[in-house]
Chain A
Amino acid sequence: MIERDRGGRFFAHLLLIVGVLIVAFPIYYTFIASTQTIQTILRPPLPLTPGGEFAENYGQALFGGVGRIGGVDVGTLLFNTSVMALGIALGKIAISLLSAFAIVFFRFPFRMFFFWMIFVTLMLPVEVRILPTYKVMVDLGLIDTYAGLILPLVASATATLLFRQFFMTIPSELVEAARIDGAGPMKFFRDILIPLSRTNIAALFVILFIYGWTQYLWPLLVTNDNRMNTIVIALKKMVSFADADTPWNLVMVTAILAIVPPVLVVVLMQRWFVRGLVESEK
């Protein structure tokens, strides 16, 4: 024990409470706004407690459709975004598990060539090669499809590197034992490697799900049809400060609905998330 610093600890709590308030406030503010009538929202300052329009606003947005984005309801948007986020997360995990397995547990010509070929993609986010990637999508006819939303973002090396790192810590005795017992490579993969990687998979899933859910530039480009929008894109389309008939109450609801699912994933899977975050950047 260093010193009984009662005052210091009190001050630390105070600091953290202020910090948490500042960090959480924008979300709270939007939540308050999402329970108000549009008239209240347009007449600042906003009250600090929720209004009475919760059921009305959320019901309207989720099932009624929003005129500004072509009458699409937020339920559809949530579905699209979930498909995209899950597709990216699961797709990346699947192809990276396979390729890391190949690179670590097999010896074959051009092994390192393939490793470097994948590794290089680590460096270039989709933002810097948008136009050519977009042209490729047009050539392949993938505009306004789920495949178009998912596939280009599955091409990244982060997950492969993480699994490779983890696989390299697996003792070779385990591989030998499996082989002596007559297990083929796929049986080893399925019955030993996957169960051992469970924590890593969970950690990576959280991070990739968030990554997929929060995408902006890419879905903006590959979706023209309002029915294919992700919730983030639709939210941006709804907002117009110049326009008097922006449905602000529904905008606020959409913002909250765009925030809640990924926040839930992060908070509920917090243990794996924190681990995954710190490990994957190592």
Chain B
Amino acid sequence: MPKAAFPNKLLPYLLLAPQVLVTLVFFYWPASQALYQSVLKEDAFGLKTEFVGLANFSAILSNPNYLSSLQTTLIFSISTALLAMAPALLLATAAEKVVRGKGFYRTLMIWPYAVAPAVAGLLWLFMFNPTMGTFAYMLRAAGVPWDPLLNGDQAMLLVVVAAAWKQISYNFLFFVAALQSIPRSLVEAAAIDGAGSTKRFWTIVFPLIAPTSFFLLVVNTVYAFFDTFGIIDAVTAGGPARATETLVYKVYIDGFVNLDLGGSAAQSVILMAIVIALTAIQFRYVERKVHYA
């Protein structure tokens, strides 16, 4: 930190003003509203509200729909994270091996990062929807009863694949950076000692990129939790029969469609707690342990 500072008294406050103002109006105000709403109950006509303490929370946490949505979210997040990370690692190790065309492969690999989640969902839906999707047609021709609009497991599979596809580029770039930061001499020493490439990978490379992998696991989980709203809404709208209704999607449905303000606010508060926990984990375990070249 530069020790020298400018002596102005008023100027720093003016410089901070835009950010502080935007943060107050669009962050602290709504966040405190969510906290406040979460302890109130509004009647059906919005005429009177009463203080109900933690009743909204206990109602949510004992609601089987909420619990099944929690389960759906966990299945969705973990599958998405794994499906997005494993191929990315495989491709990154391959990219480390090739001598020519590294930049070319990278350029083609980073496209999906720029595709909006909702659009990503639609792209996969174009290919796999029962009425006009070429792959749906092929699956049916092969005798698979494919209909993600009716079958919950198939719907889940489709959103997981679409969500993971979009995230592969991100993971690929991080794994490439992590692989590049591994000292050449370590790998060479192991090679001289007679370790084959598989053995080198598992005993040297993999432990050294473990921090990056853990970091990506957290990032991908957060992504699957919060940034996939567009995919869910575009592909399944939470259906069929709530099979793909994640927590964030449920906040939206309960708040904007079912108009259950207290319940939605309480769900928001629970989600905030989850985000804060995930961020804390990330900072505690990941900070300063991840090294990039």
List residues of A whose CB falls within 8 A of some B CB.
Answer: 2-3, 5, 8-9, 11-13, 15-16, 19-20, 23-24, 26-27, 29-30, 33, 41-46, 94-96, 98-99, 101-108, 111, 114, 117-118, 121-125, 127-136, 140, 151-152, 154-155, 160, 167-168, 170-172, 174-176, 179, 184-186, 188, 210, 213-217, 220-221, 232, 235-236, 239, 241, 248, 252, 255, 258-259, 262-263, 265-267, 270, 273-274, 277-278, 281-282
Contacts and interface: CB of A to CB of B under 8 A. Distances in A.
Interface in B183-201: 187-188, 191, 197
Secondary structure type dominating chain B contacts:
helix
B20 A258 contact: no
Nearest to B292: A278
Interface string B1-34: 1111110110111011011101101110111011
Contacts of B11: 102, 106, 185-186
A107 B261 contact: no
B222 to A, nearest CB: 8
Contact of B126 (A19, A20, A30): A30
Interface in B145-171: 149, 165, 168-170
A127 B226 contact: yes
Nearest to B111: A263
Contact of B29 (A136, A213, A220, A248): A136
Nearest to A106: B12
Nearest to B137: A44
A265 B113 CA distance: 11
B19 A98 contact: yes
A20 B110 contact: no
A208 to B, nearest CB: 13
Contact of A221 (B94, B109, B234, B256): B256
Contacts of B108: 20, 23-24
B97 A8 contact: yes
Interface of B: 1-6, 8-9, 11-13, 15-16, 18-20, 22-23, 25-27, 29-31, 33-34, 37, 87, 90-91, 93-95, 97-99, 101, 105-120, 122-127, 129, 131-134, 136-138, 149, 165, 168-170, 173-174, 177, 187-188, 191, 197, 215, 219, 226-227, 229-230, 233-234, 248, 251-252, 255-256, 261, 264-265, 268, 271-272, 275-276, 279, 290, 292
A123 B132 contact: no
Given A252-B126, A266-B110, A278-B292, A108 B272 contact: no
Contact of A121 (B2, B23, B234): B23
The 3 closest A-B pairs by CB, nearest first: A216-B230, A214-B116, A132-B30
Contacts of A220: 233
Secondary structure type dominating chain A contacts:
helix
Nearest to B36: A132
B102 to A, nearest CB: 9
Given A128-B271, A175-B2, A263 B230 contact: no
Given A101-B15, A102-B16, A131 B134 contact: no
B94 to A, nearest CB: 4
A136 B30 contact: yes
A241 to B, nearest CB: 6
B98 A99 contact: no
B118 A236 contact: yes
B173 A232 contact: no
Contact of B116 (A15, A258, A267, A273): A258
A82 to B, nearest CB: 14
Given A125-B226, A128-B226, A128-B271, A262 B5 contact: no
18 contacts: A16-B105, A19-B90, A20-B108, A23-B169, A102-B16, A103-B16, A127-B251, A132-B37, A136-B33, A168-B1, A185-B11, A214-B114, A214-B116, A216-B118, A236-B122, A239-B122, A248-B132, A278-B174
A13 B15 CA distance: 52
Nearest to B127: A29
